[in-house]
Amino acid sequence: MNYINAHFVANTDSHNSLIKMAPMKLYGWAVSPWMARVLVCLEEAGAEYELVPMSRSGGDHRQPEHLARNPFGEIPVLEDGDLTLYQSRAIARHILRKYKPELLRSDNLQESAMVDVWVDVDAHQLEPIIRPVVFNVIIKPFTGSDCDQDLVDGSIEKLKKTLEVYEARLSSSKYLAGDFVSLADLTHFSFMRYFMATQYAEVVEAYPHVKAWWEALLARPSVKKVMAGMPPDFGFGSGNIP
Amino acid sequence: MVLTSCCTPLARRQIDTHPDPSHAFSQHQLREMAPVKVFGPAMSTNVARVLVFLEEVGAEYEVVDMDFKVMEHKSPEHLARNPFGQIPAFQDGDLLLFESRAISKYVLRKYKTGEVDLLREGNLKEAAMVDVWTEVDAHTYNPALSPIVYQCLFNPMMRGIPTDEKVVAESLEKLKKVLEVYEARLSQHEYLAGDFVSFADLNHFPYTFYFMATPHAALFDSYPHVKAWWERIMARPAIKKISATMVPPKA
């Protein structure tokens, strides 16, 4: 089921050629947190795009047709004219650079550095902790594997220490890179969406500034729209397995 | 805290009398500024990452070593620079940064010139390809390669932990699949993002340098375009200079 987002780009001189181009295509399954990371940026940018659904259980990503787009056999993949991109953060940066550079703060040396810092904090500190919790707590029960509770418990302890850093940061800054929303905040949404659907959400909610920041993210129209395609059980419960 | 060196840039540039509006600062302005500081030992992979880019742009910088034995990285002073208590940390006047790739990008933007543009942010397509292969290094190449470095070098030599050959074997299989893709890519282009060296290529340096000191270095011989690309990277003056401060422990 394809759908086309009918938002048009701003009609500035430098973007005129973009309006005449075919919409960008994003390949993958919408429940994927990597896919959702990109979808949020597309929505924030108001860019025109077409979602091309693929089947994970059908192994679409391992077929030659997809390997021609991404030789690593992963999703998401973005086609923008003759440019084919993969790696969710690379795709996200391209979309924002092209349509909404203020979310990267490209015009300001210090602010763009702070955006980069906190995008990397998500990638290297937070995601490696919450991803195994999501995998063990949400996915494994559906695939018939046992939850590794020791791993989950250890991850939760690491998470608390990490959240102390986030709490300190968000106590002195409205958003992660400064008093402006940016890719740094948006990039956190997709994995946290699933983590916050587990019984461990209360761990995050114990940190008041982190909680307020999370709720502000959830209130954004782009996030609400993308979240609608992300059932908390990845679709396993309803039979819509990706 | 030990101030080990005030490093002079490899490439001396002429004072800029016709400042280019696309540059963040003129060469004259850059010379007037205090050297930036990088905190952490120069032989640490992620510290070396930042130093490579400082050398590539010819910036004035100081390396401030840290004493892990006295837990200096967890001191309040360091936590103010890097709240996760890790290295590197970076200081440019009032600006404190951490995360080595974020630091490196700041350096590349600040010191960008017509000759040294490793990010290509003025060109949408080129910048996107740089980002793709930078992410591939971080999330695909390095996770396959770095366990071999840890198991064969860092663990035995620095932590007294014996090599887990099972982890090495599994990582080698993953790495081979990754290198097949790199071989195909580098058969089409001289460098990863295209026919220009970039941030993406040089990010591969620190861990690959140490990989070449493990017993598995010869793996790259099976991928001739990858090997040639690696040799081009190693031939760069900035890379040679930083390599000299990263003497690997003997495997």
Please give the pLDDT value at position B171: 98
**What is d(CA A144, CA B132) in angstroms, rounded to the nearest whole number?**
35
**What is d(CA B61, CA B48) in angstroms, rounded to the nearest whole number?**
13
Please give the pLDDT value at position A29: 94
How close B224 gets to chain A, by Cα (Å)? 19
Residue B193 identity (one-letter amino acid): A
Q: Which three-class secondary structure state does DSSP give residue B39? A: strand
With beta carbons less than 8 A apart as the criterion, state whether B142 and A98 touch.
no
Pairing of strands B95-98, B89-92: antiparallel
Element (H, E) at A194: helix A189-195
Q: Which chain A residues are Cβ-neighbours of B135 within 8 angstroms?
A: 87, 89-90
**What is d(CA A55, CA A169) in angstroms, rounded to the nearest whole number?**
39
Residue from A109, A125, A171 to probe the interface with B (highest B Cβ count within 10 Å): A109
Q: Kindly give the parts of chain B with pLDDT less than 50.
A: 1-19, 251
In 3D, which of A89, A29, A26, A113 has the Cα closest to residue B132?
A: A89
pTM for this prediction: 0.91
**Quick check: B109 and A112 CB within 8 A?**
yes
**What is d(CA A30, CA A38) in angstroms, rounded to the nearest whole number?**
10
Half-sphere exposure of residue B99, counting CA atoms within 13 Å on the CB side?
18
With beta carbons less than 8 A apart as the criterion, state whether B137 and B178 touch.
no
Q: What is the CA radius of gyration of chain A?
A: 18
Burial group, residue A125, by CB count within 10 angstroms (0-12, 13-18, 19+): buried
Please give the pLDDT value at position B250: 52
pLDDT per position as a tens digit, A125-146: 999 999 999 999 999 998 899 9
Please give the pLDDT value at position A235: 87
B147: tokens are 């366990």
Element (H, E) at B86: none
How sure is the predictor about A158, in pLDDT bands with cuts at 50, 70 and 90? very high
Q: In angstroms, what CA-CA distances link A15 with A11, A20, A106?
A: 6, 9, 17
**What is d(CA B27, CA B13) in angstroms, rounded to the nearest whole number?**
8
How close A212 gets to chain B, by Cα (Å)? 21
What are the beta bridge partners of residue A26?
A51, A78
Q: In angstroms, what CA-CA distances link A71 with A57, A163, A167, B129?
A: 19, 36, 39, 14
Please give the pLDDT value at position B249: 54
- Count the Cβ atoms, other than its own, within 10 Å of residue B130: 27
pLDDT per position as a tens digit, A145-157: 999 999 999 999 9
**Quick check: B181 and A116 CB within 8 A?**
no
Residue B99 identity (one-letter amino acid): E
| Residue numbers of B between 197 and 236 with CB closer than 8 Å to A | none
With beta carbons less than 8 A apart as the criterion, state whether B96 and B90 touch.
yes
Please give the pLDDT value at position B20: 53
DSSP B63: E
Q: What is the CA radius of gyration of chain B?
A: 19
With beta carbons less than 8 A apart as the criterion, state whether B74 and B19 touch.
no
Q: Which chain A residues are Cβ-neighbours of B103 within 8 angstroms?
A: 113
With CA atoms as reference, the chain B residue closest to A162 would be B84
Q: What is the dihedral angle through the alpha carbons of A116, A120, A123, A126, rounded to the nearest 10 degrees?
A: -110
Vertex B66 angle, CA B41 and B97, to 5°: 80
pLDDT per position as a tens digit, A198-237: 999 999 999 999 999 999 999 999 999 999 999 999 888 8
pLDDT per position as a tens digit, A7-43: 444 445 445 444 456 899 999 999 999 999 999 999 9
Q: 3-state DSSP: chain A helix, strand, coil percent, rounded to 5?
A: 55, 10, 35
Residue from B135, B136, B181 to probe the interface with A (highest A Cβ count within 10 Å): B135
Please give the pLDDT value at position B14: 38
How close A237 gets to chain B, by Cα (Å)? 30
For A124-130, the CB contacts below 8 A with 24+ separation are: A124/B99, A125/A162, A125/A165, A125/B84, A126/A159, A126/A162, A126/A166, A126/A188, A126/A191, A127/A191, A129/A155, A129/A158, A129/A159, A129/A162, A130/A155, A130/A159, A130/A191, A130/A192, A130/A194, A130/A195
Please give the pLDDT value at position B248: 61
- Count the Cβ atoms, other than its own, within 10 Å of residue A58: 11
Kindly provide the ipTM of the predicted complex, given to two decimals.
Answer: 0.91
In 3D, which of B209, B200, B202 has the Cα closest to residue B244?
A: B209
**What is d(CA B82, CA B98) in angstroms, rounded to the nearest whole number?**
6
Please give the pLDDT value at position A5: 39
